[in-house]
Structures are given as C-alpha cells and as structure tokens.
Amino acid sequence: MVFNDKNNSPSAEYFLDTEQLEIVDETKYLGVILQSNLKFDKHIDSKARRARQQLGMIKRVLYEAPEKAKLLAYTSLCRPHIEYASTVWDPSTKLLQHELEMVQNNALRFICKLKGRDSITKALDTLNMQTLCERRKVSRQNLLMRLLSSDQNHNSLITTYDELMQDRVSTTVTRAAERGDPPTIYARTFVYHNSFLPKTVREFKNYTSHQQ
C-alpha cells in the first residue's frame, strides 16, 4: 500500500510488479500508526487510551497494594504503551505532550495517594522518576549516540548529513560528529524540523555549547 497524496491525481495508480497497491491515509507498521501527513496524533491518541485502560485495571486490582507494587505495575504494564518506539513519534506540540503526561500524573496520584493540589513534581522527585517528555528526550539522545558509536552506522549517518546539508566535504562533518557536535540540519517544514534526526542534533549542539 502507499499513502494518499493530495498533490497527486485522485486517479493515480501504483504497482509492485503486477500487483496494484492500495492507497491509504494511514497504516500500522511495527506497532506504530503512520499517517500520510507525517503526524502521529492518531498513534499517540491510541496509545494514551490503551495506557489509561491499563492504569484503570491496575487501580482496581492494586487499590490496597503498597507503593512499590503500584509503581512496579505502572512502569511494567502501563508506561510501555506510551513509550514504545517513542524516538519515532516524540511529539513537539504541547497538546500531545500534555495528553501523555496526564497518564503518568494520574498514575502518580494513585501510587503516592496524592490529594487535590498535592505536587506532582514532588512525587516525581520522591520516586526518583522523570517526566515522560524527559524520558523520550534521553531515549532519542541515547539512540543517536548508539548510532554514532558504531562505525558502520556512523559512516552512514555522516553520509546522510552530507546529503541533507548538500555538503560533500565529509571530513569536516565527521570530526564534528565524533566530538558529539554534529552540524545542524535545517528543515523547511514543522514536521521535519521536529523529527528524530534534526531535533536530536539540535539538542546535542545546545548541550555541547553550554558545556564549553
């Protein structure tokens, strides 16, 4: 199947060998809902809904359980639903970020027995936890570092930088990547600007500039 492209003629047909491909607006691949507009709001809505259902089950079954048991149940049965493949779909809009954080905030209220205006931030500190947004950021940075630590992946990534930046002087780019300061990838669209590679590279540049 192929994604529906509004810029193409509605009568466009695509074939793989002799088999005609179905044109769709979205599809699921390896557990992630991919959309033709390159957004992930449907995937995030789906996973947040599944996580809320799982959290509801945990609350019913472990209502009187100790704090450690509740925390273990959340981190092993609920949180994975809203973190699987997050390096791909990590949202940049406040609305989607808030939708995900609300799942964890509700879990924290249950785990720590918070009431009314009790602080979520204090509960995170008490349990030595990060926000989901912080965890996704660390996950993306770790993935990029793993890519750079492999000679094969490192060379492939450097080639990608060269192509994206229309810069064929690979030596300069390689040295920058080796010291953890790869060149910024500029993007014309909001979606691409906040996709994995450009977004994570910017974060590395900001981090290294603050360390100097």
**Between these two residues, 30 and 6, which has the higher pLDDT value?**
30
| Distance, CA of 173 to CA of 148 (rounded, Å) | 12
- Among 32-36, 45-49, 177-181, 202-206, where is mean pLDDT lowest? 177-181
**Between these two residues, 161 and 128, which has the higher pLDDT value?**
128
| Distance, CA of 206 to CA of 28 (rounded, Å) | 34
Contact indicator for 129, 67 with CB cutoff of 8 Å: no
For 67-76, the pLDDT digits (tens) are: 999 999 999 9
**Between these two residues, 178 and 47, which has the higher pLDDT value?**
47
Q: How confident is the model at residue 207 (pLDDT cuts 50, 70, 90)?
A: low
**Between these two residues, 193 and 81, which has the higher pLDDT value?**
81
The per-residue pLDDT for 15 is 84
- Among 121-125, 134-138, 201-205, where is mean pLDDT lowest? 201-205
Percent of the chain with pLDDT over 70: 74
State the DSSP code for 83: T
State the DSSP code for 37: T
For 29-69, the pLDDT digits (tens) are: 999 999 988 899 999 999 999 999 999 999 999 999 999 99
Cβ-proximal residues to 10 (8 Å cutoff; 6+ apart), any chain: none
Angle between the 132-149 and 94-112 helix axes, to the nearest 10 degrees? 110
Q: Is the pLDDT of residue 182 over 80?
A: no
What is the average per-residue pLDDT within 108-132?
A: 95
Q: How confident is the model at residue 146 (pLDDT cuts 50, 70, 90)?
A: confident
